[in-house]
Amino acid sequence: MTGEKAKFSGFPVAALDFYEDLEADNSKQFWNEHKATYETCVRAPMIAMLAELEAEFGTAKVFRPYRDVRFAKDKSPYKTHQGAYVAASLSVGWYVQIDASGLFVAGGFYGGTPAQIAALRATIDHDERGPALGRAVQKMANSGYEIGGEKLKTRPRGIAEDHPRLGLMRHKSLTASRAYVSPDWLESHHAVERVRADWRAMRPFIERLSAATAH
């Protein structure tokens, strides 16, 4: 993010409309005809919002709008959302996304290595660090965030059926998120303050995960 930074003033409703239309017509022709809308109503506001958050959270990666379809059954060329990520540590950080439904804010551990997943489970198994992480997760849930992440259908190998934190043990990734469906403040500067508040609330959770997945 270099050069003069535009002030963030919200995401226009046209951003949601753009993605609703893209979901219906995910074609190169549609993209080319509406790329200007993407640039002005989606990408530019996202970059401006992230610039305001950068001093507190760090530099964000704005994801490309193009899907990698090389090994996918779905050959749709374009993502139907615009996401951005700020790393706190390897595979741990904050996330924000705009799509047809509105704004999605999240944070956690995602896409970790086998060694990191093993480190996470070792933390969960620990008599002191395990309950501390469990409390951080529960605090997120009590605050209205949805706890998610990829999980094993059964317990990990070698873990007892009566393990006190068996639910957490099953996680291969661990996230907290909140979705705002077409909020009335999306077109205003309040959107960045909402993301800031959520990311701040997630910081203890993020810090616990960073420590838990270090190896």
The enclosing domain of 174 has a CATH number of: 3.30.930.20
Long-range pairs for 178-181: beta carbons < 8 A, 24 or more residues apart: 178/104, 178/105, 178/106, 178/144, 178/145, 178/146, 179/101, 179/102, 179/103, 179/104, 179/105, 179/146, 180/102, 180/103, 180/104, 180/105, 181/101, 181/102
How many whole angstroms separate alpha carbon 212 and alpha carbon 137? 13
Q: 39 in a domain, yes or no?
A: yes
Q: How many domains does the structure of the chain reveal?
A: 1
- pLDDT for 2 equals 44
Q: 70 in a domain, yes or no?
A: yes
Q: 169 in a domain, yes or no?
A: yes
Q: The pTM is what?
A: 0.94
Q: 60 in a domain, yes or no?
A: yes
Per the document, the length of the chain is 215
Q: 128 in a domain, yes or no?
A: yes
Q: 5 in a domain, yes or no?
A: no
Q: Give the burial class of 105: count Cβ atoms within 10 A of its Cβ; 0-12 exposed, 13-18 middle, 19 or more buried.
A: buried
Check if the beta carbon of residue 184 is closer than 8 Å to that of residue 105: no
Q: 146 in a domain, yes or no?
A: yes
Mean pLDDT, 10 residues at a time, the chain of 215 residues: 71 98 97 98 98 98 92 89 98 98 98 96 96 97 98 91 94 98 97 98 97 91
Q: 3 in a domain, yes or no?
A: no
Which structural domain, as residue segments, surrounds residue 118?
Answer: 13-212
